Chain A
Amino acid sequence: MKPEQIASIAHLARLSMDEAEIPRYQESLTSILSFVGDLERAQTEDVSPMAHPLPGLVQRLRPDVATETDAHERYQANAPQVAASLYLVPKVIE
């Protein structure tokens, strides 16, 4: 893995990454990915991907009823910055 790749992955994942950290991640990602490369040798032509471990299950449907009530004060007790019941972030320009 090249340093630019590490930097771009870190950016996609919104993780701060300074120059000094890059080599460490380069090393670990490279080694993980090299043994992940073993997957290539598996014979999977007739096999479909398995997203869920239990076969044959389908999504349950919930009745369309509004069951929740306003608890925003309790939830916003955890918020780092709130004003007028809005969650605040540095201003975004669109």
Chain B
Amino acid sequence: MNNETWETVIGLEVHAQLATKSKIFSGSPTAYGAPPNSQANLVDLGYPGVLPVLNEAAVGMAVKFGLAIAATITPVSVFARKNYFYPDLPKGYQISQYELPIVAKGHMDIVLEDGTVKRIGITRAHLEEDAGKSMHEGLGAFSGIDLNRAGTPLIEIVSEPDMRSAKEAVAYLKKIHTLVRYLEICDGNMQEGSFRCDANVSVRRRGTEKFGTRAEIKNLNSFRFVEKAIHYEVARQIDIIESGGRVLQETRLYDPDKGETRSMRSKEEANDYRYFPDPDLLPVAVDAAFIAGVRRSLPELPDEKAARFAATFGLSAYDAAVLTASRDLGDYFEAVVKQIPQDPKLAANWVMGELAAALNRDGIDIGQSKLNAMRLAGLLNRLLDGTISGKIAKEVFEAMWATGVDADSVIAEKGLKQISDPAAIEQAIDAVIAKSPGQLADYRAGKDKLFGYFVGQVMKATGGKANPAQLNELLKRKLAG
């Protein structure tokens, strides 16, 4: 694949399930994992005679999202019917929004690897209802339909085709993911299907204005899959064109086992959705007062928080971005810094370092951390006040993580207090020098590297507790003779 010849063009469609208690058009509960069809009432089942009534929280959440992406909120938006037949679509149409979506043009800024900021346009975001689920295995010659999910509110977020690489696509997707969780409008659980992504991918020769034919790729339920699928698809399309063929406009499914995309049989034929305004629903009016109310409820947004962290705590843009990847993480970090305001960098390093590693190892979120911010701050305070050294601090951290006990208790119990008494350190140094005449001679003869040997030996002798700075100074003097 020649990057000079070919340019990749990507647009992403995200479907995020809104975290409402009830469905968008019915009072059925939305909790995940319920027994099949136990959360599908007559409205969700599309029974004859039933009618939809709109959930106010879904509207509020859509407006919240719109404000967070600096989009125009459409004052009167309209629900439209998207007509097609599929077993998981009980009414034979999906209630969605077509010509007048509740959220119009907005944007999202992403930070690329090299630190540059790119603005990705968002064409629109609209409200619609989710379909049910089909089960194709274990039922013999049948597929089984579970309509629990039918009617769950979705916000469909459509980006402009502004992304030019899989990395940009993933960065954008992650940002949207972070944002919806910040806003508490979606739990972002990709495994459970509450955050789904379809990618529209096409290629064109560099320098051409016209977009190439695009393929839509579905079933991308992890950031990794998104990246892999895009790479595969780009290669596939370039291959086709370079062999003299034409790329088909079609829907393709990503197969994570094979790492490839393949054409979806059931959606092969172009569908004429025959959109028209849903006569069972009236136009949705959102007035200035409503919008102002939602605006007041906006939390500090990720970009705002990152900028504030960078400015207030002297962090790099990169570190600030990492620490604001989730609201919980940002809050945790700030709580730690509150306790050790003199060294925010230290707090950042530990949160992004040790703490992140431990969370990762245990497969849990910051919200489930066994070590709360106060406790971590306590540990860092002991580091800052010289009670323990950096190396010891790591040991203390692991013990705190494992036992849930605070820093002082661990330090006391394990006797990990740093040795900062010069006399004691000197004593240890003298003992090591005494047993290492050869190394002493070599060092004095010019082998500077051996300094590390002496440091190591003293640390060993003191159980790692010698104050490193003092040790260095005293050792230098003693070795010099």
Measured between beta carbons, the chain A residues less than 8 angstroms from B284 are 58-59
Q: A58-B285, A63-B56 are in contact. Are A93 and B265 (CB under 8 A)?
A: yes
Measured between beta carbons, the chain B residues less than 8 angstroms from A89 are 87, 142-143, 145
Chain B residue at minimum C-beta to C-beta distance from A86: B144
Measured between beta carbons, the chain B residues less than 8 angstroms from A37 are none
Measured between beta carbons, the chain B residues less than 8 angstroms from A20 are none
Measured between beta carbons, the chain B residues less than 8 angstroms from A71 are 41
Chain A residue at minimum C-beta to C-beta distance from B37: A72
Question: What 1/0 flags go to B119-163 for Cβ under 8 Å of A?
Answer: 000000000000000111001111111110000000000000000
Query: Does A66 contact B266, Cβ atoms closer than 8 Å?
Result: no
Query: Does A91 contact B136, Cβ atoms closer than 8 Å?
Result: yes
Query: Does B285 contact A66, Cβ atoms closer than 8 Å?
Result: no
Q: A68-B29, A93-B266 are in contact. Are A87 and B281 (CB under 8 A)?
A: no
> In the complex, A71 Cα to B29 Cα: how many Å?
13
Verify if A41 is at the interface (C-beta below 8 Å from B).
no
Question: What 1/0 flags go to A52-76 for Cβ under 8 Å of B?
Answer: 1000011111111111101110011
Verify if B200 is at the interface (C-beta below 8 Å from A).
no
Q: B residues 53-84 with Cβ under 8 Å of A?
A: 53-59, 76, 78
Question: What 1/0 flags go to B1-38 for Cβ under 8 Å of A?
Answer: 00000000000000000001110001111100001111
The majority secondary structure among interface residues of chain B is loop
Measured between beta carbons, the chain B residues less than 8 angstroms from A83 are 139, 142, 144
Query: Does B55 contact A62, Cβ atoms closer than 8 Å?
Result: yes
Q: B residues 244-269 with Cβ under 8 Å of A?
A: 253, 264-266
The majority secondary structure among interface residues of chain A is loop
Query: Does A66 contact B21, Cβ atoms closer than 8 Å?
Result: yes
Least Cβ–Cβ distance between B88 and chain A, in angstroms = 9
Query: Does B266 contact A92, Cβ atoms closer than 8 Å?
Result: yes
The size of the chain B interface, using a CB distance under 8 A, is: 54
Least Cβ–Cβ distance between B274 and chain A, in angstroms = 8
Least Cβ–Cβ distance between A15 and chain B, in angstroms = 11
Chain A residue at minimum C-beta to C-beta distance from B135: A86
Q: Which of A14, A65, A72, A83 has the most CB of B within 10 A?
A: A72
Number of A-B contacts (CB under 8 A): 126
Least Cβ–Cβ distance between B358 and chain A, in angstroms = 37
Least Cβ–Cβ distance between B309 and chain A, in angstroms = 33
Verify if B39 is at the interface (C-beta below 8 Å from A).
yes
Q: Which of A85, A86, A92, A94 has the most CB of B within 10 A?
A: A86
Least Cβ–Cβ distance between A66 and chain B, in angstroms = 4
Measured between beta carbons, the chain B residues less than 8 angstroms from A36 are none
Chain B residue at minimum C-beta to C-beta distance from A13: B85
Which of B20, B145, B265 makes the CB contact (< 8 A) with A94?
A: B265
Query: Does A90 contact B141, Cβ atoms closer than 8 Å?
Result: yes
Measured between beta carbons, the chain A residues less than 8 angstroms from B56 are 61-64
Verify if B49 is at the interface (C-beta below 8 Å from A).
no
Query: Does B37 contact A64, Cβ atoms closer than 8 Å?
Result: no
Least Cβ–Cβ distance between A64 and chain B, in angstroms = 4
> In the complex, A63 Cα to B59 Cα: how many Å?
11
Measured between beta carbons, the chain B residues less than 8 angstroms from A52 are 279, 282
> In the complex, A32 Cα to B117 Cα: how many Å?
58
Query: Does A91 contact B28, Cβ atoms closer than 8 Å?
Result: no
Least Cβ–Cβ distance between B276 and chain A, in angstroms = 8
Chain B residue at minimum C-beta to C-beta distance from A63: B56
Q: A59-B284, A91-B143, A93-B136 are in contact. Are A66 and B36 (CB under 8 A)?
A: no
Measured between beta carbons, the chain A residues less than 8 angstroms from B28 are 66, 68
Query: Does B266 contact A86, Cβ atoms closer than 8 Å?
Result: no
Query: Does B282 contact A57, Cβ atoms closer than 8 Å?
Result: yes
Query: Does A14 contact B85, Cβ atoms closer than 8 Å?
Result: yes
A-B contact pairs, 14 of them (CB 8 A): A51-B78, A58-B282, A60-B282, A62-B53, A65-B27, A68-B22, A71-B41, A72-B40, A75-B42, A83-B142, A87-B145, A88-B144, A90-B143, A91-B142
Given contacts A59-B281, A68-B26, 8 further A-B contacts (CB under 8 A): A58-B283, A58-B285, A60-B53, A75-B45, A85-B37, A86-B36, A87-B147, A88-B143
